[in-house]
């Protein structure tokens, strides 16, 4: 489950607005309040992954780039998936603790 959420988070960083649709496609059955918390958490994490300078994308985790959208996706997935996974876990613990 978490690796799928990492992929969703990376997709959101590169193409904002996909989290809700991707979460529904996973078929996760949770309370609507919990779902909103998950979506909000993934959107927040996604904003910290990539910076944009013109058409180029740069990794905010290691400051490397420039990348195309596909290059940034592959970089984040191959190099930083463990980092993103730990961030997602921490954020989910925080969100669940607030409920």
Q: Residue ranges of the domains in the chain?
A: 2-98
pLDDT at 10 exceeding the cut of 70: yes
Three-state DSSP at 67 gives strand
What ranges make up the beta strands (E) of 1-99?
50-53, 56-59
What pLDDT is stored for residue 1 in this prediction? 60
Interval 36-92: pLDDT, tens? 888 999 999 999 999 999 999 999 999 999 999 999 999 999 999 999 999 999 998
pLDDT band at 12 (very low <50, low <70, confident <90, very high): very high
- Cα 17–Cα 50–Cα 84 angle in degrees, nearest 5: 85
pLDDT at 99 exceeding the cut of 90: no
CA 93 to chain centre: 16
What pLDDT is stored for residue 30 in this prediction? 77
Q: Is the pTM of this model over 0.85?
A: yes
């Amino acid at each position: 489950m978490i690796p799928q959420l990492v992929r969703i988070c990376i997709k959101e960083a590169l193409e904002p607005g996909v989290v809700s649709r991707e979460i529904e496609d996973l078929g996760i059955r949770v309370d609507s309040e919990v779902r909103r918390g998950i979506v909000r958490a993934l959107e927040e994490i996604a904003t910290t992954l990539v910076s944009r300078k013109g058409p180029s994308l740069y990794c905010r985790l290691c400051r490397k780039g420039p990348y195309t959208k596909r290059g940034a996706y592959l970089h984040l997935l191959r190099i930083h998936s463990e980092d993103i996974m730990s961030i997602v876990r921490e954020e989910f613990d925080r969100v669940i603790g607030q409920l």
